């Protein structure tokens, strides 16, 4: 067996067994959304409820099945950004909103209400070159830039919002003599849909607030290249998820992850970039809970283009095919809070995103040196031996990292007293040594 074969086997041996992590079919809120959305229950906007404030324009949207109004808010943000928030109008308790990602409260610009068609509302920025065209029934928002629809929200009718509920025991106590006519009340259905408790392998996830997931779709017109939503060991350009394998935003410590796989690994950033000739857009989905993202890119050939096929040949037609990418976001809890970054250039989109979340801090000087890091140095003797090896081979280094095993019970800011009886002295010894070559 040659070296290449040995290396291939060792890499395969390191790959983690994906069965120890959830896939989409095992995630309860994903199954619930797929089941309910298949019934095509649509929302409509109540435009007679519109109120215009200093910061936002508000209106109600309602689902005929649930008959519980939601509150939608549209904001114009400085720098050609729109923000859409959808929340329960009167939730049983406050739903979680991410408090610490935005560097500051974004500066708003007043949106101007323009006359729309019957059953619609148009909100424009001060220049009038960016507009939100809100259709009442079924509820839809078109983002219009210089008279071109570049993005549509809920055009596929995938808006989904689970209202907070009273826990079943309390509900039964208060409705002792009433017939319960709600869906999913049987024990079997509750377990299958993971409404109040979700089980996976040996883990039990108790949901004190019950089902609270949300979802929304975005159609990007003319776009076939989308990027972002890290962190995944996948291709730079995001792929279609029609195989049922959605991109998962859920931090996992997967030391032996596979490449070209959509499972989440170490970090989650709900920020997606779409690019085409002459236009770049961004979607920043501000939600900290587990999130799944489905992507579908397709080409749509218009009738006039199809007619041209017989006259000019397939090459000319190919250039006229209008692509569209549909992005479906689903999160386990929280509210819908999404920023639409309108670009139009890639540089503009990154400026808009950094305006919201800040820019990368300059690294400390010591971080630019050589760091010796591996998992794991077992004790003080192990650390001294590694340090001595660097001296022996005349290799300078700036930092030596210890992994989680140096702690007591894997608790942060603690030391294992048996393995590291005097960590202060150990660090002082390493710090006192002169760099190699001096």
* Across 103-107, 156-160, 203-207, 285-289, least confident range: 203-207
Q: What separation in angstroms does the CA of 58 have from each of 23, 55, 78, 123, 402?
A: 37, 10, 19, 11, 52
Residue span(s) of the chain under CATH 2.60.40.1760 come to: 29-162+212-357
* Across 173-182, 251-260, 317-326, least confident range: 173-182
Alpha carbons 83 and 89: distance in angstroms, whole number: 18
The pLDDT of residue 286: 98
The pLDDT of residue 345: 97
pLDDT at 9 over 80: no
Handedness of CA 351, 237, 218, 84 (dihedral sign): negative
* Across 196-200, 273-277, 298-302, 348-352, least confident range: 298-302
What is the chain's mean pLDDT, rounded? 86
Instruction: Write the pLDDT tens digit of every residue in 352-386.
Output: 999 999 998 899 988 999 999 888 888 999 999 99
φ, ψ (nearest 5 deg) of residue 157: 70, 35
The pLDDT of residue 301: 46
Handedness of CA 419, 421, 424, 428 (dihedral sign): negative
**SS3 of 394, please?**
coil
CATH of domain 29-162+212-357: 2.60.40.1760
The pLDDT of residue 350: 97
The pLDDT of residue 317: 40
Mean pLDDT throughout 239-251? Answer: 90
pLDDT at 173 over 80: no
Alpha carbons 153 and 262: distance in angstroms, whole number: 24
pLDDT at 257 over 90: no
Neighbours of 434 (CB within 10 A): 6
Neighbours of 272 (CB within 10 A): 24
Say which residue, 93 or 243, is predicted with more confidence. 93
pLDDT category of residue 13 using cuts at 50, 70 and 90: low
Please give the model's pTM, rounded to 2 decimal places: 0.84
CB 37 within 8 A of CB 65: no
Alpha carbons 126 and 78: distance in angstroms, whole number: 11
Instruction: Write the pLDDT tens digit of every residue in 41-88.
Output: 789 999 999 999 999 999 999 998 878 899 999 999 999 999 999 999
């Amino acid at each position: 067996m040659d070296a290449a074969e040995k290396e291939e086997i060792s890499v395969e041996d390191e790959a983690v067994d994906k069965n120890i992590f959830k896939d989409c079919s095992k995630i309860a809120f994903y199954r619930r959304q797929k089941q309910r959305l298949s019934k095509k229950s649509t929302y409509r906007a109540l435009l007679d409820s519109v109120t215009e404030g200093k910061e936002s324009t508000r209106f109600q949207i309602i689902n005929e099945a649930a008959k519980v109004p939601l509150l939608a808010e549209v904001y114009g943000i400085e720098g050609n950004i729109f923000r859409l928030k959808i929340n329960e109008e009167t939730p049983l308790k406050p739903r979680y909103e991410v408090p610490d990602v935005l560097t500051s409260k974004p500066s708003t610009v007043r949106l101007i209400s323009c006359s729309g068609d019957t059953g619609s509302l148009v909100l424009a920025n001060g220049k009038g070159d960016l507009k939100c065209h809100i259709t009442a029934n079924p509820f839809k928002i078109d983002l219009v830039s210089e008279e071109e629809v570049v993005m549509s929200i809920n055009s596929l009718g995938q808006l989904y919002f689970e209202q907070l509920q009273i826990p079943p025991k309390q509900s039964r106590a208060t409705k002792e003599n009433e017939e319960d006519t709600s869906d999913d009340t049987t024990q079997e259905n509750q377990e299958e849909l993971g409404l109040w408790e979700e089980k996976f392998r040996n883990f039990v996830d108790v949901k004190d607030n019950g089902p609270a997931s949300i979802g929304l779709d975005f159609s990007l017109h003319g776009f076939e290249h989308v990027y972002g939503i890290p962190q995944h060991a996948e291709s730079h350009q995001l792929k279609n998820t029609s195989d049922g394998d959605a991109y998962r935003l859920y931090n996992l410590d997967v030391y032996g992850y596979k490449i070209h796989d959509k499972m989440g690994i170490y970090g989650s950033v709900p920020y997606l970039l779409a690019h085409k000739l002459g236009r770049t857009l961004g979607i920043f989905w501000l939600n900290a809970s587990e999130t799944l993202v489905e992507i579908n890119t397709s080409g749509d050939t218009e009738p006039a283009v199809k007619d041209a096929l017989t006259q000019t040949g397939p090459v000319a037609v190919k250039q006229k095919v209008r692509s569209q990418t549909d992005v479906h976001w689903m999160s386990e809890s929280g509210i819908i809070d999404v920023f639409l970054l309108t670009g139009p250039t890639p540089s503009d989109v990154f400026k808009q995103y950094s305006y919201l979340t800040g820019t990368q801090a300059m690294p400390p000087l010591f971080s630019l040196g050589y760091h010796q890091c591996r998992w794991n140095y077992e004790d003080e003797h192990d650390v001294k031996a590694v340090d001595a090896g660097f001296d022996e081979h005349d290799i300078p280094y700036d930092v030596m990292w210890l992994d989680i095993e140096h702690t007591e019970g894997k608790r942060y800011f603690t030391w294992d007293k048996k393995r590291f009886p005097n960590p202060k002295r150990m660090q002082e010894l390493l710090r006192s040594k002169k760099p190699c070559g001096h």
